[in-house]
Chain A
Amino acid sequence: MTPDEKTLQAAYAPLRQELATAVPPAGQEAGLLAAFRQQHAPVSRWQRLVQWVRQDRGLYLSLGGSCVAALAALMWLRPMLWNETQALQAAPAGTLAPTASTELTTAFFPLGDPARIEAAQHARMVRVSMPRASLAAYGLPVNPELADEAIEADLLVGDDGAPLALRFVRGKYQLI
């Protein structure tokens, strides 16, 4: 033991003595026992459920609740979705047909000889923007108020870069 440690050990003695007399407040035990009794008191089913939710199950319940809410929303929207799908499916070729959930497209209009489409080994689709007036060339109605605006279209392009077919695209709630 170094001289410093000896000095420290000597200095500790009165502190240890004082520490030996330090005790927590006398009333603390009674308070803790009351808390213990409360913790272990018999609880009703409802209280048990509330306790269960307050603990770590809240997350699972909220996830479950979200699933139920999503299912309910789906059930509520189902008739509307069903009607829209039916209407779109019933539309004649060349007019609107459903594709992705966020946009509607027409069927493809062949450009030139339709046999070229079948003959093409590979084709790729390119999204282009066209004058809205070009709808008329394919027998589609053009809204005069929107005639100056552009409309998007998917161009089916063959191996040689030549366009094979075309379809018009619109947002789900966008007017053609």
Chain B
Amino acid sequence: MSVLAQPTDAELHNRLMAGDEAAFTQVYRRHKDVVYRFALMLCGASGLAADATQETFLLLIREPARFDPARGALSAFLLGVVRNLVRRGRDDLAVAAPDEDDSAADGSHDLTPLATLLAGEALSSLQQAILSLPFAYREALVLCDLQELPYLDAANVIGCPIGTVRSRLNRARARLAELLAEHAPLRLETTL
């Protein structure tokens, strides 16, 4: 039984430029989650992240020639676009109005109510701490630590040298550790 090779992003992009709807669908399904998650971690609000994701793919529809396969991967291009959208228009709003629903509880049905509560608080603290980082640190941390992109790819997305990504990531981690230490919840026994 032979396995059909998946078309590359460059091939799909060529077909997409020619008006092939199936190619666009494939591109969207391949990259939508990564783009959305990156936007979500940058702005902290699912509605804004969804809007930014939609605008990113709309740009690909309307101006597909903006992506040049010779200059990098399609994923890096899309992440770069959504990054710019969030950075230019939505960053301040997003931090001011993050999602209110505490979705951390969703994946912890098998925990005790107290453990669920503490896990949710810890996750919420981490999210808030990441959102309070300066944008340049935040994007490096999200790309490298949460989305686990190689430094080179992160540098392509951000549009800076790889050394800058490394230094920003180090500073972001140090700042995040400080923030988490400052806002660490008191131990249960000390509150009793």
Interface residues of A (CB under 8 A from B): 4-5, 7-8, 11-12, 14-19, 21-25, 28-29, 31-33, 35-37, 39-40
CA distance A5 to B28 in the complex (A): 34
For B158-192 the 0/1 string (1 means CB < 8 A from A) is 00000000000000011011001000000000000
B-side interface mostly: helix
Q: Known: A5-B173, A28-B50. Contact between A11 and B180, CB under 8 A?
A: yes
Q: Known: A8-B176, A14-B123, A35-B58. Contact between A19 and B41, CB under 8 A?
A: yes
Please indicate the chain A residues that have their CB under 8 angstroms from the CB of B40 in the complex: 19, 22
Residue in A4, A28, A36, A37 whose Cβ sees the most chain B Cβ within 10 Å: A36
Give me 25 A-to-B residue pairs in the complex whose CB atoms sit less than 8 angstroms apart, sorted by A's number.
A8-B145, A8-B176, A11-B126, A12-B126, A14-B104, A14-B123, A15-B123, A15-B127, A18-B123, A22-B33, A22-B36, A22-B40, A22-B46, A24-B32, A28-B32, A28-B53, A28-B54, A29-B28, A29-B32, A31-B54, A32-B58, A33-B21, A35-B61, A36-B61, A37-B21
Interface residues of B in 5-52 (CB under 8 A from A): 19, 21, 24-25, 28-29, 32-33, 35-37, 40-41, 46, 49-50
Q: Are B145 and A33 in contact, with the CB atoms below 8 A?
A: no
| Interface residue from B24, B36, B122, B126 paired with A36 (Cβ < 8 Å) | B24
Q: Are B119 and A14 in contact, with the CB atoms below 8 A?
A: yes
Q: Are A7 and B57 in contact, with the CB atoms below 8 A?
A: no
CA distance A28 to B50 in the complex (A): 8
Q: Are A32 and B54 in contact, with the CB atoms below 8 A?
A: yes
**Interface residue range, chain B:** 35 or more
| Interface residue from A5, A11, A12, A18 paired with B104 (Cβ < 8 Å) | A18
Q: Are A39 and B28 in contact, with the CB atoms below 8 A?
A: no
